[in-house]
Amino acid sequence: MPPVKVADSVSGRVLDPDGKPVASAQVGASAGSAAPRFTGSASDGSFVLHGLKGSTVNVFVTAPGFATEHVRGVTVGSDEVVIVLQAPARLRGRIAYDERPSVLYVRLCHFDRDFDREVCLKSRYYSPPEDTFELERLPLGNYDLVFSSNDRELARQPVTLRSGEVLDVGTVSLRR
């Protein structure tokens, strides 16, 4: 199905790294405080998001086996948006405790300028905490790996995640 140009819509295609269409991807768009709009990609990777408000939106795409992709500042009315999905990343490491907490949260976070706050995209809860950790199916880019217990941050480490990578961050020392 060819892209459709409509004033309150964004349309385009979702592709894999080889340029092949990704069918049944979940495609969404959001702008400001408006409720996000969702659709799925067709067998040829095409999608159309209708009923969008504002002049620009942020488009995000998820599909099994791929990292979530975010495209910021897409002009509403665009009809040739191409989103190429990549293999997700994974990270792991070890933890050295000064004093082992009763619970531990390991989160992947970044500052989101659209929301003007830190947003955590992936989280893992350990109770009781273990000596190793792992987060899977991660989006690509620059993030902070945040360790916390009972609303208290214990450590923060910057990480860069690349397509298909398994990043071993080594040993993270947690101080209470």
CA atoms of 85 and 22, how far apart (whole Å): 8
pLDDT in tens, 49-101: 999 988 899 999 999 999 999 898 999 999 999 999 999 999 999 999 989 99
Q: Tell me the per-residue pLDDT of 14-59, one tens digit each, with 9 for 90 and over.
A: 999 999 999 999 999 987 777 889 999 999 999 999 999 888 999 9
CATH 2.60.40.1120: which residues of the chain?
Answer: 10-84, 89-174
φ, ψ (nearest 5 deg) of residue 20 = -85, 145
| CATH topology classification for 89-174 | Immunoglobulin-like (2.60.40)
Spell out the SS3 assignment of the chain: CCCCCCCCCEEEEEECCCCCECCCCEEEEECCCCCCEEEECCCCCEEEECCCCCCEEEEEEECCCCCCEEEEEEECCCCCEEEECCCCEEEEEEEEECCCCCCEEEEEEEEECCCCEEEEEEEEEECCCCCEEEEEEECCEEEEEEEEECCEEEEEEEEEECCCCEEEEEEEEECC
Q: Look up the pTM and report it.
A: 0.78
Q: Residue 65: what pLDDT?
A: 92
Percentage above 70 pLDDT, the chain: 95
Q: Which fold has domain 10-84?
A: Immunoglobulin-like (2.60.40)
